């Protein structure tokens, strides 16, 4: 990982020239830096990091609805060049052949530069009042997709869910809980930590914070959104779902976790209680728009509390050093290097 001078973005990269404001850091960035994941663009020896963006339009030539000064978030994924059935209709988040690309992750430079360009159809407008929290739109888009799919699956039968359990109180889990609260559910969040900002963020949402095992909750949730990626916890959630319950996995697991699952026990739970267990990744344009709307309706002060550290550009390296009490860390790219 290095800070380096790169060329001015080329007009072919998009008709919107954007002055970067903020960049959010997430677990995928740590995987990229460790070399565990990610691909540089073809013929390029480096990958510009950054997929959680917020910027201000500096030039909008032939850019439809955008004008100079608009706040925008960049969509991360691009459909494959010869699109599969999903990509062909704008649902690149459901890409079937894996030949999609992703800014800052897979074969396309990211948004971790002071200026970047984007195609208007891959830019999402954010209201001016959202300037301080708009960087949360990209992570929230994944949860908007999770909720959309949970509700689609829920419509398989008459179903009136009351309780939500979110496992993992990082930024993804907290945004999942926020959207559960917006749906009028009784929200429970389970994590390991007993101090730091997470318990209070959960309580401020009007939700209940838990530590310890799922079996000690005292109830079986109708919906679980699994955001920890912890294998044993995921298994316990699968076995403690309420009848007709839906479990959505958002957190991806590190390899080689030692957790056993009795498939016959899981099978009986699935069959006898009509359970649904599924996973989601990424989001399409519709989910970014749903995310921006959910954030707009949320408490601004609560959202500001999710961003626990803002590093000035000159101190960018510190953003990639994990500190106790971090929830979401952002780099203020507009502050000058
Ligand atoms: Zn595709």
Residue 137 C-alpha from the chain's centroid: 8
Q: Is 192 within 8 Å of 209 (Cβ atoms)?
A: no
Q: Global pTM?
A: 0.96
Q: State the burial class of residue 33 (Cβ atoms within 10 Å of its Cβ: 0-12, 13-18, 19+).
A: middle
Distances from the Cα of 10 to the Cαs of 6, 251, 265, 317, in angstroms? 11, 35, 56, 27
* Residues paired with 249 in a beta bridge: 226, 279
Please give the pLDDT value at position 63. Answer: 56
The vertex-68 CA angle with 65 and 73, nearest 5°, equals: 70
Q: How far is the CA of 93 from the centre of ligand 1 (A)?
A: 8
Instruction: Encode pLDDT of 266-310 as tens digits.
Output: 999 999 999 999 999 999 999 999 999 999 999 999 999 999 999
Q: How far is the CA of 165 from the centre of ligand 1 (A)?
A: 32
Please give the pLDDT value at position 213. Answer: 93
Q: How far is the CA of 24 from the centre of ligand 1 (A)?
A: 26
pLDDT-based confidence at 316, cuts 50/70/90? very high
Q: Which residues have CB less than 5 Å away from ligand 1 (the ion)?
A: 80, 84, 87, 95
Please give the pLDDT value at position 61. Answer: 79
User: What is 5-49 written as a DSSP string?
Assistant: --PPPPGGG-SEEEEEEEEEE-HHHHHHHTTSS-BPPTT-S----
Q: How far is the CA of 226 from the centre of ligand 1 (A)?
A: 25
Instruction: Encode pLDDT of 132-179 as tens digits.
Output: 999 999 999 999 999 999 999 999 999 999 999 999 999 999 999 999
Q: How far is the CA of 44 from the centre of ligand 1 (A)?
A: 23
Report the Cα–Cα distance between both ends of the chain, in Å, rounded: 16
Look-up: residue for tokens 């026990």?
265
State phi, psi for 321 to the nearest 5 degrees: -110, 115
Instruction: Encode pLDDT of 43-76 as tens digits.
Output: 999 999 999 999 999 998 765 789 999 999 999 9
Instruction: Encode pLDDT of 227-251 as tens digits.
Output: 999 999 999 999 999 999 999 999 8
Q: How far is the CA of 246 from the centre of ligand 1 (A)?
A: 26
Q: How far is the CA of 78 from the centre of ligand 1 (A)?
A: 9
Q: How far is the CA of 149 from the centre of ligand 1 (A)?
A: 19
Distances from the Cα of 172 to the Cαs of 27, 81, 168, 179, 225, in angstroms? 11, 30, 8, 11, 10
d(CA 118, CA 50): 14
Q: How far is the CA of 135 from the centre of ligand 1 (A)?
A: 26
Helix (H) or strand (E) holding 223: strand 223-226
Q: How far is the CA of 287 from the centre of ligand 1 (A)?
A: 17
Instruction: Encode pLDDT of 16-51 as tens digits.
Output: 999 999 999 999 999 999 998 899 999 999 999 999
Does residue 125 sit in helix, strand or coil?
strand
Q: How far is the CA of 259 from the centre of ligand 1 (A)?
A: 33
Q: How far is the CA of 119 from the centre of ligand 1 (A)?
A: 18
Q: How far is the CA of 189 from the centre of ligand 1 (A)?
A: 34
Q: How far is the CA of 161 from the centre of ligand 1 (A)?
A: 33
Count how many Cα atoms sit within 13 Å of the Cα of residue 229 in the half-sphere of its side chain: 14
Q: How far is the CA of 37 from the centre of ligand 1 (A)?
A: 19
Q: How far is the CA of 77 from the centre of ligand 1 (A)?
A: 10
Q: How far is the CA of 84 from the centre of ligand 1 (A)?
A: 4
Mean pLDDT calculated for residue range 197-207: 97
Task: Examine the pLDDT at 180 and tell me if it is beyond 80.
Answer: yes
d(CA 49, CA 140): 19
Please give the pLDDT value at position 337. Answer: 56
d(CA 328, CA 119): 27
Q: How far is the CA of 96 from the centre of ligand 1 (A)?
A: 5
Question: Which candidate, 156, 189, 153, 184, places its Cα nearest to that of 172?
Answer: 189
Q: How far is the CA of 98 from the centre of ligand 1 (A)?
A: 6
Q: How far is the CA of 314 from the centre of ligand 1 (A)?
A: 38
Average pLDDT of the chain, as a whole number: 95
In what side-by-side order are the strands of the sheet with 163-167?
A: 208-210, 186-190, 163-167, 223-226, 246-249, 276-279
């Amino acid at each position: 990982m290095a800070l380096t001078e790169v060329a001015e973005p080329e007009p072919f990269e998009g008709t919107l020239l954007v002055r970067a404001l903020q960049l959010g850091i997430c677990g995928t960035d740590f995987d990229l830096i460790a070399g565990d994941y990610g691909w540089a663009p073809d013929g390029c020896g480096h990958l510009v990091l950054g997929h959680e963006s917020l910027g201000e339009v500096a030039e909008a030539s032939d850019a439809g609805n955008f004008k100079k000064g608009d706040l925008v978030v960049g969509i991360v994924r691009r459909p494959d060049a010869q699109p599969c059935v999903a990509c062909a209709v704008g649902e690149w988040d459901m890409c079937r052949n894996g030949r999609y690309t992703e800014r800052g992750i897979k074969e396309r430079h990211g948004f971790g530069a002071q200026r970047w360009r984007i195609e208007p159809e891959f830019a999402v407008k954010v209201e001016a009042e959202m300037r301080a929290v708009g960087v949360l739109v990209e992570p929230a888009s994944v949860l908007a997709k999770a909720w959309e799919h949970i509700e689609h699956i829920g419509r398989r039968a008459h179903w009136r869910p009351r309780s939500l359990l979110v496992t993992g109180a990082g930024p993804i889990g907290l945004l999942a809980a926020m959207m559960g609260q917006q749906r009028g559910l009784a929200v429970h969040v389970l994590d390991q930590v007993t101090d730091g900002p997470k318990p209070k963020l959960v309580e401020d949402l009007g939700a209940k914070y838990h530590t310890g095992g799922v079996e000690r909750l005292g109830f079986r949730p109708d919906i679980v959104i699994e955001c920890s990626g912890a294998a044993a916890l995921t298994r316990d959630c699968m076995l403690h779902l309420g009848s007709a319950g839906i479990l959505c996995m958002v957190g991806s697991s590190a390899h080689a976790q030692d957790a056993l699952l009795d498939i016959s026990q899981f099978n009986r739970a699935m069959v006898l209680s009509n359970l649904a267990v599924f996973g989601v990744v990424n989001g399409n344009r519709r989910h970014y728009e749903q995310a921006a709307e959910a954030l707009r309706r949320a408490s601004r002060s609560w959202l500001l509390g999710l961003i626990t550290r803002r590093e000035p550009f000159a101190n960018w390296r510190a953003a990639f050093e994990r500190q106790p009490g971090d929830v979401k860390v952002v780099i203020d790219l507009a502050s000058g290097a």
